[in-house]
Structure 1
Amino acid sequence: MGTNALISAAASATITLLAIAEPASAQDTSAAQANNPLANTTALNFQNQYFGEIQGTDRDANQFYLRYAQPFQAFGGDWLMRATVPVNTVPLPGGDDETGLGDINIFAAYLFDTGNPAVSFGIGPQVTAPTATEDTLGSGKWSLGLANVLFNGTNPKFQWGYLLTWQASVGGDEDREDVNLGAFQPFGFYQLGQGWYLRSASVWTYNFDTDDYGVPLSLGIGKVIKTDRTVVNVFAEPQKYVWTSGDGQPDWGVFAGLNFQF
């Protein structure tokens, strides 16, 4: 898997974890539900994924992305739309780097009624557009696929779930490699109190065309501040890749972000 393919998979898979800092134990349930990536709120996120010591190059890469999530209603049901606009930096032969706009990804998840307000389940289509400003920064392909999210917030102290995505190319530059990527992001979120929390939400990627894969493990910490109008969430999550195959996989990484929930 090349660096741009790894970045594409990571961008389409990463979710946003939010928590409200509530001082009283009676408010633990509301704090847990605020961590729900399928929550009925509008979110604006500034996030950064750093990839260190990429195999085959011994260089690093970076992806900064702007994310916007918006709930809406359609076809008699509730949906959540999320759009990701990445700015990628990838290494070039000769020692230089290329920085610019990557491929924009959008998915819309239909929210099923699970019968339990603390458990959310959504699934729906996703599309990735070949918007990269340079060939090295994207796939050059239109891709379609699916996104599936599960969130379990029944425990006010610990919430868990996953985001599963898959996408395959359906058009675009015929001279570029086809896209057939899967990404799985298991996540856990442990609340320490006073707005502090531990988190693990690294993205596992698999290329169905080449059998390349990357599986990181991670543990991070964050702080949530609730204001009158928004919930501010800042976090950093170091990652270590423990199982990899194929050039373009990093040895380690850091995922960090500043999220706003309105």
Structure 2
Amino acid sequence: MPVSRVFAFAVALLAQGLPAAAQESAEDLAKKLANPVASLISVPFQFNWDGGYGPQDGDKAFVNIQPVVPMDLNDDWNLISRTILPVAWQSDVAPGSDQFGLGDVVQSLFVSPKSTQSGLIWGVGPVALIPTATDDALGGGKFGLGPTGVVLRQSGPWTVGALANHIWSVAGEGGRGEVNASFLQPFLNYTWPSATSVFLNTEATYDWSSEQWSVPINLGVNQLVSIGEQKVQLGLGARYWAQSARGGPEGFGVRANVILLFPR
């Protein structure tokens, strides 16, 4: 069965067993979406396009499928699963060739307290890189492991925080480059009572092997809407590559997202 059908079937089953989103206000749900470790099941589909790759100005479009599933460990702690599965198409990124298929999965688990006296929200846990790419040009061919963490504060309409991880390769195909990379994502979000949000973040990666940074800066707007009984957040934004690894993207790119919400 094609991956798209399997995923659609899984989302449909999930939706049947979950309560309606009407229990919380649209503003509250929009604020929860700005919190990576909120007690909220969501299924984001994030579309990205970037250009300027390599000597032939190649371009790449990909959809990150990013389900977030919180689970109760006990009365005081949650376990939050965050998965990133990229489906990519690229042209002339590898000069003279096109590729389409799955990229490598990044799977994160966060243990997070359900409440804190300080009001500071945080989560820590492991992150894994899984070589699921269907083409060598779309992935690194390595299994990787490392730590991940997130910390943030929400005050009124503001959400301010940062998410980080580091991954080292531990196994995989011989002859492929080793993975030794740090990821840092500081983020800022402002939400109005209308459930409209403006976001600003960076998704900086430092490759310790090549000693190179990749730093896209993302700016955009999200709006929570209802489609029937289903709550959906729609978003559109632009990004600029402040710094890029050798042969990487340059200039401006585009980001859009559709997020299905399934409040607990």
Report the TM-score when normalising by structure 2.
0.80
Misfit runs of 4+, over 6 Å: none
Closer, same or farther: CA 57–170 of 1 in aligned 2, 3 Å:
farther
Q: Which amino acid aligns with 2:38?
A: A
How far apart are the structure 1 equivalents of 2:187 and 2:98? Answer: 32
How far apart are 1:112 and its partner, in Å? 3.5
Q: Does 1:179 align with 2:179?
A: yes
Counterpart of 1:68 in structure 2 is 67
* SS of residue paired to 2:87: strand
Percent identity, aligned pairs only? Answer: 25
Counterpart of 1:241 in structure 2 is 241
Counterpart of 2:148 in structure 1 is 147
Q: Aligned residues, how many?
A: 237
How far apart are 1:149 and its partner, in Å? 1.2
Counterpart of 1:37 in structure 2 is 36
How far apart are the structure 1 equivalents of 2:86 and 2:244? Answer: 24
How far apart are the structure 1 equivalents of 2:204 and 2:55? Answer: 19
Alignment of 1:1-262 (within 5 A): 21-22=26-27, 32-74=31-73, 77-92=77-92, 93-112=94-113, 115-116=116-117, 118-153=119-154, 155-226=155-226, 229-262=229-262
142-151 or 69-78, which deviates more: 69-78
How far apart are the structure 1 equivalents of 2:30 and 2:117? Answer: 16
How far apart are the structure 2 equivalents of 1:211 and 1:95? Answer: 27
**Cα distance per residue 1:40-91 (max 9 Å; x no partner):** 1211111112112124441111221211111123488321011222112233
**Cα distance per residue 1:117-172 (max 9 Å; x no partner):** 8531001101111111111110000011122112211x222111111121111000
Preserved CA contact (<8 Å) 1:21 1:226:
no
Closer, same or farther: CA 192–217 of 1 in aligned 2, 3 Å:
same
How far apart are 1:201 and its partner, in Å? 2.6
Q: RCO (CA 8 Å, sep 6+): is it higher in 1 or 2?
A: 1
Q: Which amino acid aligns with 1:142?
A: F
Preserved CA contact (<8 Å) 1:46 1:67:
yes
Closer, same or farther: CA 204–212 of 1 in aligned 2, 3 Å:
same
CA RMSD of aligned residues (A): 2.5
How far apart are the structure 2 equivalents of 1:234 and 1:100? Answer: 25
How far apart are the structure 2 equivalents of 1:191 and 1:203? Answer: 21
Unaligned runs of 5+ in 2: 1-23
